[in-house]
Structure 1
Amino acid sequence: MAMNDARGHVTVVGSLNMDLVARAPRMPQPGETLAGHAFAQVPGGKGGNQAVAAARLGAQVAMLGCVGADANGVQLRAGLEAEGIDCAALETSATAPTGVALIIVDDGSQNSIVIIAGSNGEVTPDTIARHDAALARAQVVICQLETPPATVHAALTAARRLGKTVILNPAPAVGPLPVDWLPLVDYLVPNELEAATLTGLSVSSPEEAMLAADALRSAGARNVIVTIGAQGVVAAMGGEPPRHFDAPRVRAVDTTAAGDTFIGGFAAQLAQGASVTDAIRFAQRAASISVTRAGAQPSIPIRAEIDGA
C-alpha cells in the first residue's frame, strides 16, 4: 500500500505516569536494601509513552486519559503539548493524584516496575463517551491495560463502531483476555511475558512465540504481533503462517520504553498507509534506538533518526 501524503492520525487511550527510576547493579532480594547508581524522575505511563512515540515518529496524535491536579500532572500535560499532542481529551482529576511508576533498572538493562494507578483509575466508560470525537478523528486507536477493564472495553467498542484500526497492547497482563474483546481488536501486540500470561504457554524463543501467536489467533485474535526483545518480533497475520522478524543488533542500556516505542511507531506507520511488514520493520528500528538510551520518553527517537538509519 502506498504511503499517504498527509500525516496519519493516532488516538491513544491510556495511562500517564510519572516514572521514578532507580538504577542498581541487580534487582534486590525480598527484605534487602541495595545501593543504587542513580535516580531520575521522567514522564512515562504506557499511554503517554505510546503517544509520544507515535508523535515523534510521524503521526498526528491525540491523548485520551486523566492526570491529577498536582505538579506531576502539570508536567505530564506540558510534556505532551510540547510534542504537539492534542490534549483536549486529557482530563484532570479533582481528587486522585497523578499515576506513578516505580522502576528499577539493573546493569543488564532489564527492569522491574510497580505502578500506582492514581488518576488513571478515573478514566471511565463515561470518559470515552465524552471524547468520542477524539476517536472519530483517528485512523488508528491504541489501548493498553493500565486503565480500568470496563474503560478499555468501552474504548475498543467505540473504535470498532467508528471503523478504526484498533491496536491493543495487553499490558500489564494478569490472565487471558475476555473473549468478547478479541473481535474488537485488529492487532494484538503483547511482549513475551504478556503472551505467556495470555496463553499459559512458555514464550522464550521465536518458535514458542509462534505457538503462542497461533493460540491467540485460535482464541479469536485477528492479527498477533509478539515482541520478544533482542530476539525480534513474531507476527501472525490473518490466516498466514507466523513470521519471524530479526531485531537490529544494538548495545542495550535501558529497555523501559522499547515496547511502547515499537507500538507508537507501528501505529504511526499504519495511520500513514504503510504495509504491515514495513510498519513492523520501521517500529523495530525505532525500538532498537530507544534501548540504547536511558529513560522512558527521553529514549524515544524522532522520525528523522529512523529515516537516516
Structure 2
Amino acid sequence: MKKIVVLGSINVDTILNIDRLPLPGETMAMHDRSTAGGGKGANQAIAAVRAGADTSFISKIGKNHAADFMLDTFKDDGLKIDHVTEDEKAGTGKAYILLDAKGQNSILIYGGANQTITVEDIRKAKATIAEADCLITEFETPLEASIEAFKIAKENGVLTILNPAPAKQNIPAELLKLTDIIVPNETEAEAITGIKVDDRQSMENVSNKLHTMGIKNVIITVGASGSFYSQGERNGFVNAYKVNTVDTTAAGDTFIGYLAAKLDSDLSNIEEAMKFASKASSITVQTQGAQNSIPHVRDVEI
C-alpha cells in the first residue's frame, strides 16, 4: 500500500449559495447556507486515504467544537492524525465559499491554527515523513514548515508534490528545488510564471519556465478541459470527463490526492495516474461541498 503524508490546512467550510458573485457595494440574498469539512490539506489527505493509500496528516487545529467535528471526520476515514496537534490560542481554520448557480466558487480563508504550524512541528514528524512514498503540501500553511518537510523528504528519497495554492508569486527558490512535481491550476501557473494559460502552447511555455526554475515534472490542471503534463522531453494532455458540474470545491484537491495514491515512484505511469485522478475529480464536482463530495476508490472506475 502506498504511504502518503500530507502537510496542510484544516478548515471548516461555510458554503453560501448565490445566483452570481455580488458586485462591489451590492447586497444580495442567499438561497441556502451549509457547513462542511474542508481545508486544502485535509481535502487532499482524505482524497488520498479514500483512494486506498496509507495516509498520515500533519496539521493544527484550535480547541473548539469545530476541531472535534474535523477530528471525528478524519477518524471515520481512517486517516492517521498523530501529527494533528492543538493550538491553545488560534481557532480552527475557516473558509467562506461563495457558490454560484453554475457551480463555480470564490473562497475567503481565515487561516487560524493553520498558520501556527512550526518547523519544530515538522521535525517531530520526521520519522513519518522519512517512511513515506510521497509528501504533499500546499500554501495554506507557513512556507518555512513546507521547506523543512520537503528537506526531510528529499533526504530520505521521498517524492514531493507541491500544490501552489492559493496562488502565490515569488515562491522561495529553495522550495521549488526540493519539489519533484508541481501541480498548479491555470491561475496559479500564471501567478508563478507571468504566462497566461489559454492553449496548449502556453502550457508548454509555463512548463518550460518551471523546468528552468528547477522542477522536473509539471502538471497543470485546467478545470473542465483536463490536465497537461510535462517532463521536459515528454509531455501530453489528459482530457477531463464530461459531467454535470454542481460545485467545483475540492476538485483540485481530489485530483492531487488520487494522483499521489496512483503514481509510481519513477513516474512512469503519469498519464494513467492523471486519468485516475481526473475520474475522481469528475465525481467530486457532481456533489456540493468539499470532503463529503470526495469519492471512495470503489466508486472510481477507469
The TM-score normalised by the length of structure 1 is 0.94
What residue number does 2:166 align with?
A: 172
* Deviations 1:81-132 (CA, angstroms, capped at 9, x unpaired): 1100011010011111000011101112111011110000111111100111
* Deviations 1:126-172 (CA, angstroms, capped at 9, x unpaired): 11001112212211110101001111111111111121011000001
What residue number does 1:232 align with?
A: 226
Task: Give the alignment of 1:152-191 within 5 angstroms.
Answer: 152-191=146-185
* Deviations 1:210-239 (CA, angstroms, capped at 9, x unpaired): 2212211122111000000011001001x2
Residue 96 (structure 2) pairs with residue 71 (structure 1): no
Among 67, 74, 77, the residue aligned to 1:80: 74
Residue 135 (structure 2) pairs with residue 129 (structure 1): no
For residues 91 and 206 of structure 1, the distance between their equivalents in structure 2, rounded to whole angstroms, comes to: 43
Root-mean-square deviation (Å): 1.4
Among 35, 38, 58, the residue aligned to 2:52: 58
Q: What percent identity do the matched residue pairs reach?
A: 38
CA contact (8 A) 1:205 1:228 kept: no
What residue number does 1:300 align with?
A: 294
* Deviations 1:279-299 (CA, angstroms, capped at 9, x unpaired): 111001101111111101111
After TM superposition, the runs of 4+ consecutive aligned structure 1 residues lying more than 3 A away are: 271-274
* Deviations 1:52-84 (CA, angstroms, capped at 9, x unpaired): 000111101111010001011111111111100
What letter corresponds to residue 168 of structure 2 in structure 1? V
Task: Give the alignment of 1:231-250 within 5 angstroms.
Answer: 231-237=225-231, 239-250=232-243
CA contact (8 A) 2:185 2:222 kept: yes
User: How many correspondences in the alignment?
Assistant: 301
What residue number does 1:213 align with?
A: 207
What residue number does 1:263 align with?
A: 256
CA contact (8 A) 2:177 2:213 kept: no
What letter corresponds to residue 256 of structure 1 in structure 2? T
CA contact (8 A) 1:214 1:242 kept: no
State the 1:271 CA deviation: 6.0
CA contact (8 A) 2:159 2:265 kept: no
State the 1:256 CA deviation: 0.6
What residue number does 1:282 align with?
A: 276
What letter corresponds to residue 222 of structure 2 in structure 1? I
What residue number does 2:140 align with?
A: 146
Gaps of 5+ in 1: 1-6
State the 1:241 CA deviation: 4.0
State the 1:37 CA deviation: 1.4
CA contact (8 A) 1:49 1:296 kept: yes
For residues 247 and 265 of structure 2, the distance between their equivalents in structure 1, rounded to whole angstroms, comes to: 29
